[in-house]
Amino acid sequence: MPHDHADHPHSHLPSDPALRVKALETLLTDKGLVDPAALDEIIDLYQNKIGPQNGAKVVAKMWADPDFHAQMMADPMPVLREMGLYGRQGEHMVFVENTDETHNMVVCTLCSCYPWPLLGIPPGWYKSDAYRARSVRQPRKVLEEFGVTLPEGQKVRVWDSTAEVRYLVVPQRPAGTEGMSEAALAELITRDSMIGTALAKEPGLQEGGA
């Protein structure tokens, strides 16, 4: 952090890629191809406003409301549009539901396709080679590394997201959550549980247990 050596009075020089991004931004702005204010808005949106809480709200409502659930499983797009959860990288969503028979998990083997409007920006591990390659070949092993051990009889189905279709896992509703409000249910639904690398939290467990 300290950078006030007397012999280096100039500004801290950004990294090579950071300077290349500045060059791109300067050129594209000068050409009128992008608007710096729009860039700031995009960053603010994904840094501060959009995140897994959006997806959790939807899943909690699916748990609580059978009609809503049926609608989302049939065609979620009209409802998502109505809820304002439509847009960039969420134009075509498919919800895949965990059952006693099948556990679902989502990957993007091509790059890092991910439902931004519902989950925000993907975590580093989702973008890593380790996850992208291995979740298809050894899903159970990967799940174990996440601390998820599935019953023997439960199959694992891996969904490969693309630039066109994005998947969201609907985790199983934990026992002992009858009568809980949607807001309380949403607290149990983590980002990882909607990627399929975790289960929904048990009620009564405090944050940080995962």
Partner 1 sequence: MTWCGGKPEPAFDAPWHAQLFALTVALNEAGHFGWPDWAERFGATLKAHGLAKELDGGEDYFNAWLETLEGFLQDLGLAEAAVLRDLKEGWTRAYLNTPHGAPVHLAAGEAAG
Q: Per CB under 8 A, does 19 bind partner 1? A: yes
Secondary structure in 3-state letters for 129-185: HHHHHHHHHCHHHHHHHCCCCCCCCCEEEEEECCCCCEEEEECCCCCCCCCCCHHHH
Q: Which residue number, 20 or 81, has a Cβ lying nearer to partner 1?
A: 20
Active-site amino acid positions: 108, 111-113
Burial grade of 96 (CB within 10 A; 0-12, 13-18, 19 or more): middle
98: nearest Cα among 209, 206, 188, 198? 198
- Three-state secondary-structure class, residue 25: helix
Residue where the block lists tokens 């519902």:
118
Q: What distance in Å separates the CA atoms of residue 10 and residue 111, rounded to the nearest whole number?
A: 38
- String of contacts with partner 1 for each residue 87-126, x by CB under 8 A: -xx--------------------xxxx------xx-xxxx
Q: Per CB under 8 A, does 190 bind partner 1? A: yes
In this chain, which of 4, 67, 82, 178 binds partner 1, going by CB under 8 A?
4
In this chain, which of 92, 102, 138, 147 binds partner 1, going by CB under 8 A?
147
Q: Per CB under 8 A, does 60 bind partner 1? A: no
DSSP structural state of residue 95: E
Q: Which residue number, 47 or 70, has a Cβ lying nearer to partner 1?
A: 47
Q: Per CB under 8 A, does 129 bind partner 1? A: yes
- Three-state secondary-structure class, residue 123: coil
Minimum distance, C-beta of residue 74 to partner 1, in the bound complex (Å): 25
DSSP structural state of residue 5: -
Q: Per CB under 8 A, does 39 bind partner 1? A: yes
Q: Which residue number, 35 or 65, has a Cβ lying nearer to partner 1?
A: 35
Give the strand pairing for 166-170 and 93-97. parallel
- Positions in the binding site for partner 1 (CB under 8 A): 3-4, 8-15, 17-28, 31, 33-35, 38-40, 42-43, 46-47, 51, 88-89, 110-113, 120-121, 123-131, 145-147, 162-164, 190, 192, 197-198, 208-210
